[in-house]
A and B are shown apart, each in its own frame.
Chain A
Amino acid sequence: MFWKSRIIISTGLLMLITACDPCQEADAYQCIEENIKALVPDQAITSYTLISQDGFAESYRQESWYDTIEAFEPDRCGNVFRWDRMGAMYRSTLNNDHNVEFRLDALNNTQLTIGINYKQQIAWDFKENSITTSGYDNPDYPEATYIAFHDTLTTGGRTWEQVLEARFSDSHINAEQIKEVLFAAHHGIIWYRLKNGVEYFRVK
Chain B
Amino acid sequence: MKSLRLFLVTGLLAFACCRPVLIDTYLLTEQQKSLIPYVPDTQVTFSFNGEKSFPIIITEVSKGMQQEYRGEESCQYYEYERKTAILRSVYPEINIEATVCAQNNESFKRYDTLNFSVRLGYKQFALNCQWDPTGISFCDTVLAGFHYHKVLVFNNCTDASHLSDTSLLYYQHIVWSQENGLELITFNNGDYYVLEKQNNYQHGATHADYGM
Which residues of A are in contact with B by a Cβ distance under 8 Å? 47, 49, 52, 54-59, 61, 93-98, 175-176, 196, 198, 204
Q: What are 30 A-B contacts defined by CB distance under 8 Å?
A: A47-B167, A47-B168, A49-B168, A52-B91, A52-B92, A54-B48, A55-B48, A55-B51, A55-B52, A56-B92, A57-B169, A57-B191, A59-B168, A93-B159, A93-B162, A93-B170, A94-B121, A94-B169, A94-B170, A95-B120, A95-B121, A95-B122, A95-B171, A96-B93, A96-B121, A96-B122, A175-B90, A176-B90, A176-B93, A198-B91
- Alpha-carbon distance between A61 and B51 when the two chains are bound, in angstroms: 27
7 nearest CB pairs, A to B = A95-B121, A59-B168, A95-B123, A59-B169, A56-B92, A96-B121, A54-B52
CB distance from B172 to the nearest CB of A (A): 11
User: In terms of DSSP, what is the predominant structure of the interface of chain B?
Assistant: loop
> Number of contacts between A and B (CB, 8 Å)?
53
Give the residue of B90, B167, B170 whose beta carbon is less than 8 angstroms from that of A204: B167
Tell whether B49 is near chain A: CB-to-CB under 8 Å: yes
Q: Please, what's the 1-or-0 string for B66-101, where 1 marks a CB less than 8 Å from any CB in chain A?
A: 000000000000000000000000111101000000
Which of the four size classes fits the interface of chain B? Answer: 20 to 34
Give the residue of A49, A94, A204 whose beta carbon is less than 8 angstroms from that of B171: A94
| A59 neighbours in B (Cβ, 8 Å) | 167-170
User: Which parts of B7-35 form the interface with A (CB within 8 Å)?
Assistant: none
* Among B91, B189, B191, residue most surrounded by chain A Cβ atoms (within 10 Å): B91
Q: 14 new A-B pairs (CB below 8 Å) besides A57-B191, A61-B168, A93-B159? A: A54-B52, A55-B48, A57-B169, A59-B170, A93-B162, A93-B170, A94-B93, A94-B171, A95-B171, A96-B93, A96-B95, A196-B91, A198-B91, A204-B167
